[in-house]
């Protein structure tokens, strides 16, 4: 019995560890789940992913609170808990591979269909300031920072309390799939996002 309990506690942790927010690997066949790339890409190509009457026109993330907020004309209409990069408490992102979540002002530049992490909204990291800082240090600033949903093993949200209690990404902001669906349906490209300490 102890071995079974140990296995059940290790497996989710391992799944989180190996489910970072790097570049997705695309699969060829439809899997008939919310992670189905074909259905997602079709929706995007037709411009049918926006379904909300109230579109979010500004996003704000607070790393210390692990909270993400969305606004429409100054009124808060969205909020979600989030997980961050594994080293998010060590400050602003400095370089590729540091597992920190960036801080600063960005915009949503792309919507991505991802077979591993539900949906994702790519932000414009690195910005000019990030690039200048990295150049001064002689390092690569990295990139590919997104707001994304959960790994496939947590598709139904049963593991949300576990994933939200840990910082497990490579620098991205991870929200529950239900919240990611709301963002997907209410955020256009170009929406500004401020990530605060």
CATH of the domain at 168: 2.40.440.10
Radius of gyration of the chain (CA): 17
pLDDT for the residue 32: 62
- Count up the domains in the chain and report the number: 1
Q: Where are the alpha helices (DSSP H) in the chain?
A: 2-17, 37-45, 128-137, 160-164, 177-186
Q: What is the pTM of this model?
A: 0.84
pLDDT over 80 (residue 8): no
Q: Residue 123 — very low, low, confident or very high, per pLDDT cuts 50/70/90?
A: very high
Taking residue 40's Cβ as centre, other Cβ atoms within 10 Å add up to 20
Domain that holds residue 55: 2-196
pLDDT tens per residue, range 11-45: 444 444 434 466 554 444 545 677 888 889 998 99
pLDDT tens per residue, range 37-58: 888 999 899 888 999 889 999 9
């Amino acid at each position: 019995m102890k071995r079974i309990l140990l296995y059940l506690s290790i497996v989710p942790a391992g799944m989180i560890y190996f489910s970072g927010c790097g570049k997705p690997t695309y699969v060829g066949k439809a899997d008939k789940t919310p992670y189905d790339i074909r259905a997602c890409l079709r929706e995007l190509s037709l411009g049918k992913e926006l379904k909300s009457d109230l579109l979010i026109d500004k996003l704000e993330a607070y790393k210390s609170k692990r909270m993400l907020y969305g606004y429409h004309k100054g009124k808060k209409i969205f909020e979600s808990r989030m997980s961050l990069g594994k080293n998010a408490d060590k400050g602003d992102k400095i370089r590729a591979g540091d597992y920190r979540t960036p801080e600063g002002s960005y915009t949503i530049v792309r919507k991505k269909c991802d077979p591993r992490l539900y949906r994702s909204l790519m932000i414009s990291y690195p910005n000019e300031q990030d690039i200048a800082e990295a150049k001064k240090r002689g390092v690569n600033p990295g990139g590919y920072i997104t707001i994304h949903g959960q790994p496939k093993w947590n598709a139904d949200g049963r593991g949300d309390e576990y994933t939200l209690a840990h910082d497990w990404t490579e620098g991205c902001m991870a929200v529950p799939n239900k919240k990611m669906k709301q963002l997907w349906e209410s955020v256009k490209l170009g929406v500004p996002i401020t990530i605060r300490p």
